[in-house]
Structure 1
Amino acid sequence: MYEPNVVGDWQECDGHPGLRVRVHRLEQAEPPRGRDDAAEGLTYFRLRVTVENRGGRCFGVHLEDGQIDVRIGPDGESAFVDWRNSQFIEGYDVYPLRRATAVLYAAGPEAALAQVDVQIQLRVDDEWTDRRLWTGGLGLHEEAVGAAAPCAGGQGGLAHQVSNFLKDQAEPGAAG
């Protein structure tokens, strides 16, 4: 079964060894060149899409408006994407051990921004990668979760629930 990535997760690009992508830094932010009139009454947010090359050769990466889809709220309504203020990766050569980042500004009703889904389809060396989905929301933080890290959101938080699930699965005799 296909499961979406959480905002902040890296995803390897199949067929392109060492190339990976992630959606991260989902946060409320005003665009640098002012609000678009079409976004009147909406809350702006910004997200970043980073492509990293950990492989041994250079990849030509292309990520622009038609390759990013942003959906908000429980019904998956389309967010307003401010193309004028966004910065894309257009025909950029990502050399080994280097990164390229796109910055996207979007807006939507504040009540719907607790759930944001971002779908990305990169073009690498004139080939399309598989579509990948990241899910997150404004007000949720990308924090490191490890044995010594406190769980985000406390006792009932998502990180705490995932941690408990993994502990239950690791116990002898756990259903699986």
Structure 2
Amino acid sequence: GQTIYGAQDDPMVQTLAINRVGSIVAIGSPGRASSVVRVYQLESLPHNGTGHDEAQSPPALWRPLGQPIRPTNAVPITEFGTSLALSANGQTLAVGSQQSVQVYRYSNTSVVWVQRGQTLQGRNETRFGASVSMSSDGRILAVGSPLDCVTNRPTPCTTGLVQMYQWNETV
């Protein structure tokens, strides 16, 4: 596929996630005032019979998959897209921010990314959401808080903490 460039008004691209077969990529551009995550799908172009060697694969292009995803929650979200994780099929996406994580599911019928469940919130100043990882089926999510700790010490704490979540089909 071709090179994917950020949009003119996007903050700098900082994070990437790719599905298992490499056909879907999520690109995060976290910023303090403006943040966005864009998802692209690699689509093969049909062979047009214009000299393309039939033994080779047809060319492919990266096309947007759904709308650009921006923070929409009433909770103040900064650096939306700090971390990203995609399920194996690329249909479930976790987006980490500074202090929160949102999970989205791609809807093939409405062709948009829809938030799945509620926004996950961490304790203040723990950087909850600085890292995210997802199981291949998108049902289990690990969220890192590098400045949190297990004990009740005041934050910041430098031992870090990982919290696990499992999707149970409810909001």
Establish whether TM, by shorter chain, passes 0.5.
no
| TM-score for the superposition, normalised by structure 1 | 0.29
Greater length-normalized contact order (CA 8 Å, ≥ 6 residues apart): 1
TM-score relative to the length of structure 2:
0.29
